[in-house]
Amino acid sequence: MTEIHTPRLLLRRWHEIDDLHPLAEIHSQPEVMRFLGDGSVLDADATAGRIEEWEEEWDDEGFGVFAVELLGSGELAGAVGLTVPQGLPEYAHEVAVTWLLGRQFWGQGYASEAAQATLEYALQDRGLERIVALTKSADEASANVVRKLGMTFEKEITRPAAGPSDAEDTLRVHAIDLTEYEA
């Protein structure tokens, strides 16, 4: 069972039942979902599907997206971890770090703390060669996290529309490898 303790957080695998309601509450917040996928909020059914997909990725790949729990209160603050980017064939063999916190948990350094621990896990413990971050160009909060992680800007790419209600947009690609991480 993979678990990581940081000074303020527990990163752990998902609890299908107990995490459903708090994650669905986070997924119902438009400002949280604005820069994720097509920008839509997710309901409880879609949230259950997301937890299932993340757990499958853990089982299949040996890495995945962690549930982020506050050590003090045991509250679920969000989801931070590793995933193979979907819908971008050029990145089908890459591993991306991703993050999402409930609105009430922003501005306290939790995303950076969890993402830093995720990079250490990916590059040092799991021996992955490099980790990318794919962030929408208007997503300033994520740009701030990427900068604090010391990731290097590579290029901008176009994310194609995922369906009729979606529009294509620009993603910024940043990356880091073990040498850069340890520098």
Ligand X SMILES: CC(C)(COP(=O)(O)OP(=O)(O)OC[C@H]1O[C@@H](n2cnc3c(N)ncnc32)[C@H](O)[C@@H]1OP(=O)(O)O)[C@@H](O)C(=O)NCCC(=O)NCCS
Contact positions toward ligand X, by CB under 6 A? 32, 35-36, 98-101, 106-112, 135, 139, 141-142, 144-145, 148
* CB-closest chain residue to ligand X: 109
Provide the minimum distance between the beta carbon of 102 and ligand X in the complex, in angstroms, as a whole number. 8
- Considering beta carbons, is residue 1 or 110 the nearer one to ligand X? 110
Provide the minimum distance between the beta carbon of 83 and ligand X in the complex, in angstroms, as a whole number. 10
**Rounded to an integer, what distance in angstroms lies between the CA atom of residue 143 and that of residue 125?**
25
SS3 annotation, 1-39: CCCEECCCEEEECCCCCCCHHHHHHHHCCHHHHCCCCCC
- Considering beta carbons, is residue 122 or 179 the nearer one to ligand X? 122
SS3 category, 147: helix
Supply 67's token pair. Answer: 């549930």
- Considering beta carbons, is residue 115 or 127 the nearer one to ligand X? 115
Provide the minimum distance between the beta carbon of 5 and ligand X in the complex, in angstroms, as a whole number. 16
φ and ψ at residue 113, rounded to 5 degrees? -65, -45
- Considering beta carbons, is residue 17 or 30 the nearer one to ligand X? 30
| 42 and 28 Cβ atoms separated by less than 8 Å | yes
**Rounded to an integer, what distance in angstroms lies between the CA atom of residue 56 and that of residue 87?**
18
**Rounded to an integer, what distance in angstroms lies between the CA atom of residue 8 and that of residue 183?**
25
- Considering beta carbons, is residue 1 or 148 the nearer one to ligand X? 148
Provide the minimum distance between the beta carbon of 31 and ligand X in the complex, in angstroms, as a whole number. 7
Provide the minimum distance between the beta carbon of 45 and ligand X in the complex, in angstroms, as a whole number. 20
